[in-house]
Copies of this chain bind each other. A is one copy, B any other.
Amino acid sequence: MIYNFSAGPCTLPKQATEEAAAAIANFAGTGIGILEMSHRTKPIEGMVAETESLLRELLSIPAGYEVLFLGGGASLQFCMAPMNLLAQNATADYTDTGVWANKAIKEARKFGKVNVVCSSKESVYNHIPKNFEQTPGATYLHITSNNTIYGTQWKEFPKANTYLVSDMSSDILARPIDVSKFGLIYAGAQKNMGPAGVAVAIVRSDILGKAEREIPAMLDYRTHIPEKSMFNTPPVFSIYVMNRVLHWLKNLGGVSAIEKINIKKANQLYNALDNSKLFKGTAAKEDRSTMNVPFVFREEAVAADKKEALEKTFLKVATEKGLEQLKGHRSVGGFRASIYNAMPVEGVEKLVEFMSEFEKSL
């Protein structure tokens, strides 16, 4: 049994991937495989519509919001968001909580004024900044709801003067959210929703059409809304895997149910770190992510010149035991366990057990 702690693309519900694989041979009893079926057929149109319905239900998306399935990943949304929302002379507020937040900032600067209202860069993004001032009249306030690399997460969303725009790639569907606080939520699928290749945009339609610029058709949310994400050929298979993941989540009890499991998994791992003499977490306790848990050797436990070799040993033995993809991001070092929705409780238990064994073996 392998437990895959990759930060993304990452572990998915086994049932969902099995259903997706089966549909490649024969989709919905049509005799035609899902990779080979035109998006302009009733079975595919129905599947995409159902995927939207499931997302609406699971996230309690209110009326007035559109749900789009788009190619290009969240990285394309970094430019689509300001291109569609931010006028050239207007200001958008951005919070700087890590590498991905910075990529969003960089793209927004190409379309309007950007005010970086807070940053935790000086402490290697180990916390979520609190108490910052918003720009009067700013069009929106942008946040990265969960910071995959640093393992920090906005536990309470800041109250935007107007509306929030959020990259939710790494914790969408992990907990209930109040969508009405957001003008735009976007997320690459490849953490909690499905495989790489599709991004979701949930946009309040009344904020569109105010940026006063010509937008290429494919980059204009207004193109995709009346076409139900079928303006061009959408990434059908990625949407289908998402469909199967959403069914799995719904059967499991939805977002409230998975939140309880996520908290349980995260607590188990953080407790182990807090009680360890060898390991420690790197993120500020109050901002700890339930999705990504970076950890390192305690400085007092491992001499600086022994650290690299011991990290390698830990990763090697972990891999031998089926605990894979635990290497930390280079900017934080050490280790990172990504424990998204689809990571079973047993995976975290096995990891905690192994960490304890490893500590005792030294």
Contact = CB atoms under 8 A, between A and B. Distances in A.
Interface of A: 2, 4, 6-12, 17-18, 20-22, 24-25, 31-33, 35-39, 41, 70-76, 78-79, 83, 103, 106-107, 110, 188, 190, 194-198, 214, 216-219, 231-238, 241, 324-325
Contacts of A71: 71-73, 76, 197, 235
Contacts of A231: 75
15 contacts: A4-B36, A4-B37, A6-B38, A7-B38, A9-B35, A9-B38, A71-B71, A71-B72, A78-B218, A79-B218, A79-B219, A195-B237, A197-B197, A197-B237, A235-B235
A195 B6 contact: no
Contacts of A4: 32, 36-37
Contacts of A219: 76, 79
A233 B103 CA distance: 14
Contacts of A2: 31-32
Contacts of A32: 2, 4, 324
Contacts of A9: 35-39, 233, 236
A17 B22 CA distance: 11
A223 to B, nearest CB: 9
Given A78-B217, A190-B233, 20 more contacts: A4-B36, A6-B38, A10-B38, A17-B24, A18-B24, A18-B25, A24-B24, A35-B241, A39-B196, A71-B235, A103-B217, A107-B216, A107-B217, A110-B214, A195-B237, A197-B197, A197-B235, A197-B237, A197-B238, A238-B238
